[in-house]
Amino acid sequence: MNSVAAEKTIPVAPPRAWPAATIAAFRRVLVPFLLTRLVILFIFGVTPAMTAVSVSQWNSDDGTAIRLSKATLAKGVSAVAIGNDSAWYYTIAHDGYEKRPFDTSHQANWAFFPLHPLLWRAVATITDEWIWSGVLLANVLMLIGLCVLWRLAYDLTGKRETADASVVFACLWPASYFMSLPHTEALFFTLACLSLLAARRGAFPAAGIAGALASATRFNGLFLIPSLLAAWIGSDRRKHHLPWIAVAVAGTALYAVYLWSITGNALAFKDIQVAWGRGLAAPWAAIADYIGHPAKIAVSWNPRLINFLSVVAGIASVVACWKRGWRDIALFTALTMLAPLCTGTLTSMTRYLGVAPGLFVSFAAWSERSPRVGQSLLALSSVVLTLMCVLFAAGIDIAGA
């Protein structure tokens, strides 16, 4: 029996069984989530304390020491939590968007979509605290997202072991530390998994609504539309489901209307990108550039070797998912990878691919076929994740994007 036929025989739990299925997924997800997040938060807590001491002090026997305490860890995590993109989201959550006529003379927070800062503000309103509210929100959303990923992987493969492995690969992905910080990764990952899962189960109203929320979180949420269409084509093709797929545009459309009202430019989120030096380029240009200069493994904001390997993994995942008949999953991964490539750089590629569930399901499937390959991938990913966490916590910009 071929893989496509096998996929169609996987039983789908009826809606009344979903609560029990969700609890089962939570139990299988909780341990890898807690283990990896505790290690990451520990690195974030300790590294700033270490870098605050000069190298000369560490190299002399003068009694220099770091004492592990709640205050030390809290101070370190707080210092790491508000940096890079999370600082932009904090200004939006705390002060709102800049209201002035559009121009590109300097960077502006119009580039950052509103759903994440709105949720952050809501949580902070309840707790009357900002930084830890953002960290808590991100980790809760990641836990939910991993549960949805587990259900998606199980629906795709029909195997609990493969679903388990998918979650482990997601937790150990080199850029997964962004999901534990007040960035959009955890929220977007959860909504993307939910939309793809709902579409595969024929629940297109839920898929469209989740897609709309995703497109209010990132522009990449629009990449779900081709995936939902592919899922619809592979279903019973009920015409009344098509408008629900179109609903996925709503998040970006409403944000564009809001930007028009405060800046006069509905596409300010796109046009302001030039202030960061981003433009359009052929998608193969960045890949060709790395192949032409493979010894240049890192530049500011861009661990080129790691990002190039992520592109290779992404392409392999797209091919594997397509061959298995998971066309919707493959399309989302491909578009998620194509967008940053069209800026002419590999910058942030590992981070962008960290929200593509097909990548982790592919890794799990490869591990099932060849356990040694799976073990090697996990080992490599763990080492790179640790390195990226330390660099990010130390404020070294190579891991900041």
Residue-wise pLDDT for 277-288, tens only, equals: 777 888 899 999
Reading phi first (left if > 0) and then psi (alpha if -120 to 50, else beta), residue 119 is in alpha
For residues 191-206, average pLDDT? 96
Domain of 14? 3-399
Please list, residue by residue across 66-76, b when 16 or more beta carbons sit within 10 angstroms of its beta carbon and e when fewer do. eeeeeeebeeb
DSSP 3-state of 299:
strand
Q: How far apart are CA 277 and CA 260, in angstroms?
A: 23
- Cβ neighbour number for residue 106 with a 10 Å cutoff: 7
DSSP 3-state of 302:
strand
Identify the pLDDT of residue 297: 93
Q: How many domains does the chain have?
A: 1
Name the percent of the chain in helix, strand, coil, to the closest 5.
75, 0, 25
For residues 116-125, average pLDDT? 97
Residue 119 has pLDDT above 50, yes or no: yes
State the alpha helices, DSSP H only, in 96-184: 115-127, 131-157, 160-172
The per-residue pLDDT for range 316-368, each reduced to its tens digit, is 999 999 999 999 999 999 999 999 899 888 989 999 999 999 999 999 999 99
DSSP 3-state of 396:
coil
> What is the torsion angle, in degrees rounded to the nearest 10, for the CA atoms of residue 66, residue 70, residue 76 and residue 81?
170
pTM attached to this predicted model: 0.93
